Structure 1
Amino acid sequence: MTKISKIRTGLAAGLLALSALTGAAAAQDFSAVYVMSDNLGDMGFNDNAKTGFDRAEADGAKVRLLQASPSDPQLWRQNLEAVSNSGEWSVIFTGPNMHDNLAAVAPQHPDQKYVFFDDQLDLPNVLSVKYAQNEGSYLAGVLAAIAATDKATFPLSSGEPKIAVVAGMDLPVIQDFILGFKQGASTVAPNIDVQVIFIGNFNDAQKAYDLTKTAIENGANVVYNVAGPAGLGILKGAADSGKYAIGVDSDQNGLHPDNVLASMLKQIGNSIYDSIGQIRANKAEFGKLQIYGLANEGVGLAYNDKLVPAAVKAKVDEAKAKVVSGELKVDTAFK
């Protein structure tokens, strides 16, 4: 190699190295923090959210997740104020249970960007993200009613049109789940009996377990989990009772593979990753609401292939197509 060639090669290598460092620095210049009102490890909502932050971190963004005890709302507020005051974060994410806190803190930091998911706050520096859980729950209701009434295909069922929802608290977002679930079930069995039972919180797995057992004792063949971390008790209660359950938020089918028919996914991680991409591209519409539903794969149903045959999936997918096309409108708690 000539001396000039060596110089050119060295310059090229140096430019590549500089480009890589510049790219890494640019990525690190973007940072996202999630101020939580709960902990990871719920195998549902929070763990699903984490997947979005993990993807952003893999792209080079600086990421931090601030966990907090669900029984310590004072800490939730303190964490939100601390990260807002720091000026360290390109965007601050927060979610359920944080409406009043964000409403108080965000106006004090007009230059700070916030993403508020699974709720809505109309402020110019807040991007709100909500999910059409009613649409996903509609599919869950269709599946639950089929499973309850088709004893030949689903032998753990009695064949009676009886199902249940065990939910965390009586909130608008939870009512959205319930309305969609009931509507979906009624399209299969118009006179179906749907028990609705509230735990009173989203963290008492033992109470959720006990209430699930009660619902099953009252005849429920399928129990829909709408209870966050407490929902782990619902799934176990159904399994221990020899009946079926439907999971929520993340794919929970593997927790009790002989009993969990499917999981209604709220693709929280996808929406978080999408939001980060929009913000980095300066395309995020702060002050507005984004909705993720069946049409843009913001919600969906993950089947347990071991329990749900192709013919039943086809029936549920037919229902999905009607919603996506607009032929069928799913009831909602939000007007």
Structure 2
Amino acid sequence: MTIMKSLFGATAIVALGAAAATAEPGLIIDLGGKFDKSFNESAYNGAQRWLEESGASYRETELQSEAQREQSMRRMAESGANPVVVLGFANASTLEKVAPDYPDTNFTIVDMVVDQPNVQSVVFKEHEGSFLVGVLAAMASDSGTVSFIGGMDVPLISKFACGYAQGVKAVNPDANVIVNMTGTTPTAWNDPVKGAELTRAQISQGSDVVYAAAGGTGIGVLQAAADEGILSIGVDSNQNYLHPGYVLTSMVKRVDNAVYEAFEAGAAGEFQPGIKVMGLDNNGVGWALDENNEPLITESMKATVEETKTRIIAGEITVHDYTTDGSCPAY
């Protein structure tokens, strides 16, 4: 048995083989916790997969408040962890400040770009994956009205919403797409009650398919959708299992692969700073099909979404990225 080390006192026992001779990598999990069934949990799963396959160990800490961001990064670097993987766009400004103080430590940030010589920035083409689930939403909708609930109202989440709306309109140009954000502070990521309230409000406006990109808040969205008998779409992790028969699909964002590959590169001495983009063409994003949602996906839907995926990868369909200009052609 080996101990997976936590920087804030708690320890977790994990079964491992011989520890690796290289420095242990570190993972800083963002607000909402590692079992949020979404973004953070995907990252945690990637770290666990690396742990199981490598027989090595890693250091981990979970943020409990905004005030811990800088403290966590410095503690992790000073503990000797290398590389240090930090999750979420909210860590960008802190990492800009911290990374230069630890030039011998490599950092990977997921979801934002930090331009430092010892930082790798992993970003995703969320708009592409969201376009695909928008296609499915439009094909599954009976009312012609679908909706989106985001977490914190930031450009990154509008990137999801806009991609989704474009996919919906590609199938049904007359469709109505309702978009709501949960809030403007980080608490918006962990408010399932508000998520459920927004879902019911959208249903009252005719929505019969709702896509959530809202972290832990999305759990409330999916629950309310199932309770009210409409379809939902999960995000980041495959959330189809949460409500079989009611979750149409999930827009999977392979944060797990980003963490796994960062740990692998660190162990191999192959860390590469700069920007790494993960999209449809390298399995960075996609849509989930399994036994939980298979009855909901017709052969026509599957064929259409797979053809759409192929055309996006080939450049035949261009999905507008909201973050490039702050606009969305589908609204």
Give the TM-score of the pair, scaled to structure 1. Answer: 0.86
Partner of 2:85: 93
Decide which moves more: 59-68 or 257-266.
59-68
Partner of 1:295: 281
Partner of 2:35: 41
- What's the offset of the Cα at 1:307? 1.4
Matches within 5 A, 1:231-250: 231-250=218-237
Q: Distance in 1 between matches of 2:76 and 2:258?
A: 22
Q: Distance in 2 between matches of 1:254 and 1:146?
A: 21
Q: Is the 8 A contact 2:149 2:195 kept in 1?
A: yes
Deviations 1:66-92 (A, max 9, x none): 1122xx111232211211223x11211
SS at match of 1:247: strand
Partner of 2:116: 123
Amino acid aligned to 2:83: V
Amino acid aligned to 2:42: N
SS at match of 2:112: coil
Rg comparison, structure with higher value: 1
Partner of 1:223: 210
1:308 has 2:297 as partner: yes
Deviations 1:285-321 (A, max 9, x none): 21x1001100100101002112112221111111111
SS at match of 2:257: helix
SS at match of 1:174: helix
Which sections of structure 2, spanning at least 5 residues, go unmatched?
A: 1-16, 325-331
Matches within 5 A, 1:28-177: 28-38=21-31, 39-58=33-52, 59-69=54-64, 72-86=65-79, 88-96=80-88, 97-148=90-141, 159-177=142-160
Q: Distance in 1 between matches of 2:234 and 2:137?
A: 11
Q: Distance in 1 between matches of 2:154 and 2:208?
A: 25
- What's the offset of the Cα at 1:28? 4.1
Deviations 1:182-207 (A, max 9, x none): 11111100121110001111111100
Partner of 2:240: 253
- What's the offset of the Cα at 1:29? 2.2
Q: Is the 8 A contact 2:30 2:40 kept in 1?
A: no
Q: Distance in 1 between matches of 2:21 and 2:224?
A: 45
Q: Is the 8 A contact 2:236 2:252 kept in 1?
A: yes
Q: Is the 8 A contact 1:34 1:93 kept in 2?
A: yes
1:209 has 2:192 as partner: no
Amino acid aligned to 2:99: A
- What's the offset of the Cα at 1:169? 1.6
Q: Distance in 1 between matches of 2:21 and 2:206?
A: 55
- What's the offset of the Cα at 1:281? 2.9
- Corresponding residue to 1:186 among 169, 172, 177: 169
Matches within 5 A, 1:267-306: 267-286=254-273, 288-303=274-289, 304-306=293-295
Which sections of structure 1, spanning at least 5 residues, go unmatched?
A: 1-22, 149-158
- What's the offset of the Cα at 1:108? 1.0
- Corresponding residue to 1:325 among 309, 314, 328: 314
Partner of 1:15: none
Amino-acid identity (%) = 36
Q: Distance in 2 between matches of 1:68 and 1:89?
A: 17
SS at match of 1:331: coil
- What's the offset of the Cα at 1:323? 0.5
Amino acid aligned to 2:84: I
